[in-house]
Structure formats: structure tokens, C-alpha cells
């Protein structure tokens, strides 16, 4: 824009910041760096950062920031550029092993063997949709605003679908994922994960597993669709490059295949999730979630001791420690969903209302929590440290999906928020 700017970045992101500025056509961007980390530091330690020197330039930090904002840009600094995503050569030749190694060496895989995307296999994949190969499907970036988005075509998505081991029948679902622009490999220092719930006739058409072991390695469609999402997030938006476009400190095993969850609609006492979001039962739909991860829940408080398991109490217990940055996605075995009905919670809304009212935090605890915030406005006037209020302000922070094979009345709960639902049928 031709205006001086002063980005402030911690030293852990030095290479990322410099590389990203260069890729945006601004290799001379004026960036000031602080020590790392900033999370968990006291006020005194943070002021020491501000009053100290930039660890890269060695200059007094605040003086450097002010200088960056007030010093006119040079002619070289005014130059801008464009980002051209790499596409590689149109064809490659060699042995099967050498081509596998090529993809591995160039960071185009999940570091597991792939199906080589030969011209014949890609052409066969394209028969899974009526869309033209050169049609632009969407744009994707490892983090909105932090990286320039890349656009990609139906054929480029097909290449990644082949690599993941998909069949043409899977392709419309994979295209629906690609159309959202949601990357499965987010660039945060948190090791974040993504999930997708699949509803409608496509589940049975692809013989997806919504019963016993639905979220385990027991079904080709479940596994491959999730893997294709990861490969697209590496190859179609430049994501998943550790230390550059991915900064998750420890990483997360869920990123290999993501959480692909076909809902067990026939055994559920409730309307399917996509119907809840305004779609018709006969539509095939995929819904997206994003957050920290997932944990195993109890079957119910008192299970095996009391005659009636208190499922709602167990669910409340399992979200009390969640950070409030993301909501709660409950994955309930059908036995739990029916058990909630026996306890008087006949609908998802009734369950969500009870959880929202009864999952509470005290103000004194919120002050030490990273992402929580107390109520604001007139109702906050009389709060004390011991005042208690709902952890999340709205019941729709809680989402429910029924999945599992009814061998045990268990649930799992993900610290994840709902993002969007999109049609799979439109990509057939």
C-alpha cells in the first residue's frame, strides 16, 4: 500500500516472517522481533521485552518500532510483487521407487507411501464429477491473513485424491472439502486439528463406517477422505511445512487423517446434524469443526454403581477444563443419546440448554484462564471473585453427533467449534 508498517514478531517466527514477506513481494519489510515466548510471562517480563533490544537487529526495541513507522519508505521498499504457487513439471519419468522418493523429498506427502498420480489414474478420478478439470474449486491458506491464498482446479484436487488412495466415488466429497478453503494444517503454535461430519445418502453409497470403530482405522472411505484433506492442505496451500507454514509445537497425530465422522443416523433418536443446519434428510452434506483436539469421556457418572448412569453429568464434567476459545463437540454412542432421552433430555436443544446453564466457572478462575472472559455490561457490575456464570454464553456452543456401534454407552468430546456445512451433491 506504500505506507510504512511495523510488524512485531517473536524470534521463534523469524524465518517464517522473513520468508512470508519475501513471498508477498516485500523482502525489505521492516519487522521487529521480541524474545519468545510471550505466553505465560509476567507483566515485568513483558516490559523487559519492550524496554530491551531486538534480538535480531540488536537495536532498542521500541525505538526501532517507532522508527519503522515514521521513516519514509525507500524506493526499493515501495516495490511490490505477486505470489505464484509452485506447480511442478507437467510430467515425470522414472521408477516407482524414484517417483515415490521425489514426492517425499519435495514435501508433497504425509511421509507415508502414496498412490502415484499417473495420467490414467487422474483421468479416472475426474470421472467422479461432472465438473471440468480446469474449473477453479476454491482458495486455501494455512491461516487467514497470514499467508496469501492459493487457488486450485478440479484436476489439482484429483491429483491429491489419487495420492491419498481415493476412488472416483469419493471425489465429490473431497471436492466439497476443497471448496471450503478450510486447511487441515493450521499454522498456529497450538497443534490444532480439524474434523468433518458426513450426513446423508453418501455415507451408505461409500460404505462409510458410522458404527463400531467409526473413528478408528477400520474403513477405507473414512481414512482416505481424511488423508486427502491433509495432502490438499500441504500441496494446494503450501501448508504443513514445519517451521515455516506450520508451527504447532508438538504436532497432533489427528492431522494424519483428521477426524472424519459419518453420523449413525439410523440409530440416533435425534434429527441428523445436517438437518439441524437446515438441509433436507435426503441431501448429502459435510460439516466442519476446528479446535484443540478430542478426549475420551466417561459412559456416565456412577456407571456400574447407580442403576441409571448420569450421562449429562458426565458430559458436563468432561468440558469443565476446556479453554473457552473453542466449543464442545459431543460424539455420543447411540446408547448415550437414548440414555439422555430416558433422563428427560429428549432433544439436542434440551441437552445443550442444560449444559450451558450448568457448566460454569468462577470469576477468580477466569482471571487465570487463557481464553475465557467474564460477562460484560450492566450484569457485570456486581460480580465478585466468587461469582459464577456459564462457561459459554450461548447453548449453540455445544454440538452433538451420534456415532458408534452400541457396544458400550460411551462418549467422546472434542474441544472444537462448528464452522460451516456444505453440499456434497453439487460436486457430483
pLDDT at residue 36 above 60? yes
Looking at per-residue pLDDT, the higher value among 52 and 83 belongs to: 52
User: 382 and 286, same structural domain?
Assistant: yes
Residue 60 lies in a domain: yes
Question: Do 74 and 166 lie in a common domain?
Answer: no
Please check whether residues 255 and 205 belong to one and the same domain.
yes
Q: Which of 123-137, 212-226, 251-265, 365-379 has the lowest mean pLDDT?
A: 365-379
Asked whether residue 346 is domain-assigned, the answer is: yes
Percent of the chain residues past pLDDT 70, beyond the cut: 92
Structural domain containing residue 218: 96-427
Residue 82 has pLDDT above 70, yes or no: no
Q: 78-99: string of b/e by CB count within 10 Å (b at 16+)? A: eeeeeeeeeeeeeeeeeeeeeb
- Give domain status of residue 89, yes or no: no
In a shared domain, residues 167 and 54: no
Q: Tell whether the model's pLDDT for residue 345 goes beyond 90.
A: yes
Read off the pLDDT band of 87 (50, 70, 90): confident
Domain final residue, candidates 46, 78, 110: 78
Within a domain: 84: no
Q: What is the mean pLDDT of the chain?
A: 90
67 in a structural domain: yes
Q: Are residues 236 and 143 in the same domain?
A: yes
233 inside domain? yes
What's the average model confidence in pLDDT over 388-414?
Answer: 91
Point out the domain boundary residue: 52, 78, 104: 78
| Judgement on whether residues 306 and 342 belong to the same structural domain of the protein | yes
State the pLDDT at residue 360.
86
Is residue 50 domain-shared with residue 119, that is, in the same domain? no
**pLDDT category of residue 113 using cuts at 50, 70 and 90:** very high
Is 328's pLDDT higher than 60?
yes
In this predicted model, which residue has the larger pLDDT, 78 or 117? 117
pTM above 0.85, yes or no: yes
Least confident of 71-75, 145-149, 327-331: 145-149
Report, as an integer, the average pLDDT of 36-57: 92
Residue 34 shares a structural domain with residue 123: no
Among 295, 238, 244, 250, residue whose Cα is nearest residue 85: 238
Higher pLDDT, 27 or 130: 130
Co-location of 273 and 128 in the same domain = yes
Question: Do 262 and 118 share a domain, yes or no?
Answer: yes
Statement to judge: residues 18 and 130 lie in one domain: no
Q: Please check whether residue 91 lies inside any domain of the structure.
A: no
Closest CA to 158 of 185, 203, 123: 123
Provide the percentage of residues in the chain whose pLDDT is more than 90: 67
Model confidence at 304: pLDDT above 60: no
Pair 338, 300: CB distance under 8 Å: no
State the average pLDDT over residues 56-68: 96
pLDDT at 373: 58
Kindly report the three-state secondary structure assignment for every residue of the chain: CCCCCCCEEEHHHHHHHHHHHHHCCCCCCCCEEECCCCCCCCHHHHHHHHHCECCCCCCEHHHHHHHHHHCCCCHHHHCCCCCCCCCCCCCCCCCHHHHHHHHHHCCCCCCCCCCCCCHHHHHHHHCCCCCCCCCEEEEECCCCCCCCCEEEEHHHHHHHHHHHCCCHHHHHHHHHHHHHCCCCCCCCCCCCEEEEEEECCHHHHCCCCCCCCCCCCCCHHHHHHHHHHHHHHHHCCCCCCECCCECCCCCCHHHHCCEEEECCCCCCCCCCHHHHCCCCCCCCEEEEEEEEEEEECCCCECECCECCCEHHHHHHHHHCCCCCCCCEEEEECHHHHHHHHHCCCCCHHHHHHHHHHHCEEEHHHHCCCCCCCCCCCHHHCCCCCCCEEECCCCHHHEEEEECCCCCCCCEEEEEEEEEEEEECHHHC
Grid cell digits, residue 231: 495432502
CA atoms lying within 13 Å on the CB side of residue 397:
22
Is residue 56 located within the same domain as residue 168?
Answer: no
Q: Is the pLDDT of residue 308 over 80?
A: no
Q: How many domains does the chain have?
A: 2
**Of 26, 52, 78, which marks where a domain is finished?**
78
Lowest mean pLDDT of 10-24, 117-131, 372-386, 403-417, name the range.
372-386
**Residue 152's pLDDT band (boundaries 50, 70, 90)?**
very high
Task: Evaluate whether residue 159 is within a structural domain.
Answer: yes
Residue-level pLDDT at 46? 93
Amino acid at each position: 500500500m506504500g505506507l510504512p508498517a511495523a510488524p512485531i514478531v517473536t524470534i521463534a517466527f523469524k524465518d517464517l516472517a522473513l520468508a512470508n514477506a519475501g513471498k508477498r513481494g516485500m523482502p525489505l519489510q521492516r519487522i521487529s522481533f521480541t524474545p519468545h515466548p510471550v505466553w505465560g510471562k509476567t507483566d515485568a517480563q513483558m516490559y523487559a521485552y519492550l524496554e530491551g533490544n531486538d534480538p535480531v537487529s540488536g537495536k532498542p526495541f521500541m525505538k526501532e518500532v517507532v522508527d519503522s513507522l515514521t521513516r519514509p519508505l525507500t524506493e526499493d521498499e515501495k516495490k511490490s510483487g505477486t505470489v505464484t504457487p509452485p506447480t511442478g513439471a507437467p510430467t515425470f519419468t522414472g521408477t516407482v521407487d524414484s517417483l515415490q522418493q521425489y514426492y517425499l523429498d519435495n514435501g508433497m506427502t504425509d511421509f507415508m507411501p502414496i498412490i502415484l498420480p499417473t495420467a490414467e489414474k487422474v483421468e479416472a478420478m475426474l470421472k467422479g464429477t461432472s465438473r471440468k478439470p480446469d474449473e477453479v474449486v476454491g482458495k486455501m491458506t494455512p491461516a487467514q491473513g497470514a499467508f496469501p491464498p492459493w487457488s486450485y482446479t478440479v484436476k489439482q484436487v484429483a491429483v491429491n485424491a489419487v495420492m491419498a488412495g481415493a476412488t472416483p466415488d469419493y471425489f465429490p466429497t473431497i471436492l466439497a472439502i476443497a471448496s471450503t478453503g478450510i486447511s487441515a494444517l493450521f499454522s498456529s503454535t497450538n497443534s490444532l486439528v480439524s474434523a468433518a461430519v458426513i450426513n446423508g445418502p453418501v455415507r451408505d453409497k461409500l460404505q462409510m463406517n458410522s458404527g463400531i470403530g467409526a473413528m478408528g482405522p477400520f474403513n477405507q472411505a473414512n481414512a482416505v477422505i481424511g488423508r486427502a484433506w491433509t495432502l490438499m492442505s500441504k500441496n494446494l496451500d503450501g501448508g504443513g511445512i514445519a517451521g515455516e507454514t506450520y508451527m504447532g509445537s508438538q504436532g497432533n497425530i489427528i492431522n494424519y487423517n483428521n477426524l472424519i465422522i459419518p453420523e449413525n443416523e439410523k440409530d440416533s433418536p435425534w434429527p441428523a446434524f445436517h438437518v439441524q443446519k437446515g438441509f433436507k434428510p435426503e441431501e448429502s452434506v459435510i460439516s466442519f469443526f476446528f479446535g484443540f483436539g478430542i478426549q475420551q469421556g466417561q459412559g456416565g457418572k456412577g456407571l456400574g454403581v447407580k442403576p441409571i448412569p448420569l450421562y449429562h453429568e458426565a458430559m458436563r464434567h468432561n468440558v469443565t477444563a476446556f479453554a473457552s476459545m473453542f466449543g464442545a463437540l459431543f460424539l455420543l454412542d447411540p446408547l448415550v443419546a437414548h440414555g439422555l432421552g430416558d433422563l428427560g433430555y429428549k432433544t439436542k436443544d434440551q441437552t445443550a440448554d442444560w449444559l450451558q446453564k450448568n457448566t460454569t466457572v468462577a470469576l477468580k478462575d477466569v482471571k487465570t484462564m487463557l481464553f475465557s472472559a467474564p460477562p460484560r455490561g450492566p450484569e457485570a457490575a456486581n460480580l465478585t471473585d466468587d461469582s459464577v456464570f456459564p462457561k459459554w454464553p450461548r447453548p449453540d456452543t455445544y454440538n452433538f453427533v451420534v456415532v458408534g456401534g452400541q457396544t458400550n454407552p460411551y462418549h467422546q468430546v472434542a474441544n472444537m467449534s462448528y464452522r460451516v456445512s456444505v453440499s456434497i451433491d453439487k460436486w457430483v
